[in-house]
A and B are shown apart, each in its own frame.
Chain A
Amino acid sequence: MSIRGKAYIVGIYEHPTRKADGKSLAQLHAESAKGAIEDAGLSKSDIDGYFCAGDAPGLGPLSMADYMGLKLRHMDSTDSGGSSYIIHVGHAAEAIALGKCNIALITLAGRPRSEGQATGTAARTAQNTPDAQFENPYGPATANMYAMCAMRHMHQYGTTSEQLAWIKVAASHHAQHNPHAMLRNVVTVEDVVNSPIIADPLHRLDCCVISDGGGAIIIASPEVAKSLQRPRVKIIGAGEAPKHQMGGEFDLTHSGAVWSAPAAFAEAGVKPGDIKYASIYDSFTITVLMQIEDLGFCEKGQGGRFVSDGNLISGNGKLPFNTDGGGLCNNHPANRGGLTKVVEAVRQLRGEAHPAVQVRNCDLALAHGTGGSLGTRHGAATVIMERE
């Protein structure tokens, strides 16, 4: 049994706010849901499946189903951090294929900017995991965990800070066209490598933004999709996998994409070279580089060469990525960038991306996420979508 062609993405919405002082968390979820339902041309009463993750208030979907007044027959709160919503796309397609629901809603929202979170640099303090007592004393934050991956990748493959900088440069070229993007100035390789070091070898401009916001996705059965007056985006493959420390035997130069991507490509029946546009999780520049290798867009260790010289810039390079500006420049709502990755991929497949970054004849796209921490344990999720 496969999900290939069993479900369609029929509605998307990215909340325009980047600083939501005057709004509650539940409100941001619900406003995002409303936007996606309207984008699809549906109404709230059509929703019979709901997916959310740890950013939603309360226990799983219960508080948000209550707040939004949803009547459901299927719910799922799989949480793998920022990649959760890419996993939800696959799970929603499975649920629809099995007849467990017909029209599924996925929401994300958060207010880390209003709440003044030091997302990247604050040392971890949560004690509720078995690993905490063996890690927290050493000051693991978000930035230094990804930095250790970058350091090892540089050591093993000769990757340079200048090569990593090209990823930010490409994102900034795209963000200049997005009126909602937090950072719209085009930057150069020199700008990136001359910005202050946060955690060796990562600079400030190697890191994503901290933003408030949210987003939502509507997934529906083929029958529903065909009844709507929207371009049809078909889900054709999905894969997911956790990567962790495996008892102390691990390699920090690859991500869980080495498992999630082959599963998604096999289900979709396509190859990396067929992909016209890719949304690739960009918490840090190193995240993008490692995922590009692990997704199969280039040989392992060649990511630095692959991303250089504008190869990720739409209209210029071979692999246009994150044409909304991504987490590096546009938006990283709730410190979780997976949902917006799917949203921009759908815009590209519909032909609704900004004309300056729209990929021509974009009929096959991929969205991939890494949630949790690349340097300890994370959930990788890949979804492949086709314009029908």
Chain B
Amino acid sequence: MQSQERKIQAPQPNAETAAFWKAAEEGRLMIGKCNACGKLHYYPRAICPFCFGDQTQLQQASGNGTIYTYSVMRRAPVPYAIAYVTLSEGPTMMTNIVDCDLDNIRIGQQVRLVFKPSDGGPPVPMFTPA
């Protein structure tokens, strides 16, 4: 089954996340990095979820990852593949697998970043088979 166009709900950026979505407008996926403990996290936030350090910054992800798990929502008007992708940097993020045959998606598959337009908001990071 080939993936089709689905209306993508617009993310609603706030003061804490504006820089993340501005980078998305420029085609870059950012992950959170804590300057105190050095660990990476996703979704990015002002306070590190590991050590609670308040000096975090955004770091650009390579855009390479591996499918941790997925599910094709067959029951939706336009079937789509939701997934968790583990980025090569470490953190795992929720996403969609797009631009591929939905029947051939597999756990462990290598994927790469693509951005897809949302319905009236910034573009959203998704993945396609590498």
B69: contacting residue among A125, A137, A155, CB under 8 A = A155
- For residue A339, CB closer than 8 A to chain B, the reply is no
Is A148 within 8 A of B39, CB to CB? no
Flag if A139 contacts B96 (CB, 8 Å): yes
- CB-CB under 8 A from B93, the residues of chain A are 134, 248
8 Å CB contact of B11 from A123, A136, A144, A252: A136
Contacts of A202 in B (CB 8 A): 71
Question: CB-defined interface of A187-205 with B at 8 Å, one 1/0 digit per residue?
Answer: 0000000001111111000
Say whether B110 faces chain A, with CB atoms less than 8 Å apart: no
Establish whether residues A133 and B17, one from each chain, have CB atoms under 8 Å apart when the complex forms. Answer: yes
Contact call B13/A200, Cβ cutoff below 8 A: no
Whether B107 and A151, one on each chain, are in contact in the complex, defined by CB atoms closer than 8 angstroms, is yes
The residue from A140, A150, A155, A249 contacting B91, defined by CB atoms under 8 A apart: A249
Instruction: Tell whether B57 is near chain A: CB-to-CB under 8 Å.
Output: no
Chain B positions within 8 Å of A141 at CB level:
73, 76
Question: Residue B45 at the A interface, CB < 8 A?
Answer: yes
Give the docked Cα–Cα distance between A132 and B71 (Å): 19
Q: Mark B48-75, 1 if CB is under 8 A from A, else 0.
A: 1110000000000000000011111111
Q: Out of A137, A147, A155, A247, which one reaches B50, CB within 8 Å?
A: A247
Count chain A residues whose beta carbon lies closer than 8 angstroms to a beta carbon of B: 41
Q: State whether B6 touches A247 (Cβ < 8 A).
A: no
Q: Which chain B positions have C-beta within 8 A of A144?
A: 71, 73, 82
Q: Looking across the interface, which residue of chain A has its beta carbon closest to that of B84?
A: A148
Say yes or no: is A121 at the interface (Cβ < 8 Å to chain B): yes
B73 lies within 8 A of A121 (CB)? yes
Instruction: Please indicate the chain A residues that have their CB under 8 angstroms from the CB of B3 in the complex.
Output: none
Residues of B within 8 A of A135 (CB): 94
Q: Does B8 contact A (CB under 8 A)?
A: yes
Using a CB–CB cutoff of 8 Å, the interface residues on chain A facing chain B are 121, 123, 125, 127, 130-141, 143-145, 147-152, 155, 196-202, 245-250, 252, 376
Interface pairs A-B: 5 shortest CB-CB: A248-B91, A247-B41, A147-B71, A133-B11, A248-B42
